[in-house]
Amino acid sequence: MRSPFDLTGRAAIVTGTNKGIGRAIALSLAEAGADVALAGRSAADETAEGVRALGRRAALIPADLGSAEPAGRIVEEALAAFGRLDILVNNAGIIRRADAVDFTEADWDAVIDTNLKGLFFLCQAAGRHMLGQGRGKIVNIASLLSFQGGIRVPGYAAAKSGVAGITRALANEWAGSGVNVNAIAPGYIATENTTALQADETRNRQILERIPAGRWGAPSDIGGAAVFLASSASDYVNGHILAVDGGWLGR
- pLDDT, one tens digit per residue, over 107-139 is 999 999 999 999 999 999 999 999 999 999 999
- pLDDT, one tens digit per residue, over 48-72 is 999 999 999 999 999 999 999 999 9
DSSP state of 115: I
User: Average of pLDDT values for 39-46?
Assistant: 96
Mean confidence (pLDDT) of the chain = 97
Cβ(74)–Cβ(37) under 8 Å? yes
Banded pLDDT at 1 (limits 50, 70, 90): low
Give 241's strand partners: 183
Catalytic residues, by residue number, are: 156
Alpha helix segments (H runs only) across the chain: 20-31, 45-53, 71-82, 105-112, 118-133, 154-174, 195-199, 201-210, 219-230
Q: Which amino acid is at 246?
A: G
Please report the pLDDT score of residue 96 as a whole number: 94
**Which domains are seen in the chain, by residue range?**
11-245 (3.40.50.720)
- pLDDT, one tens digit per residue, over 191-212 is 988 888 899 999 999 999 999 9
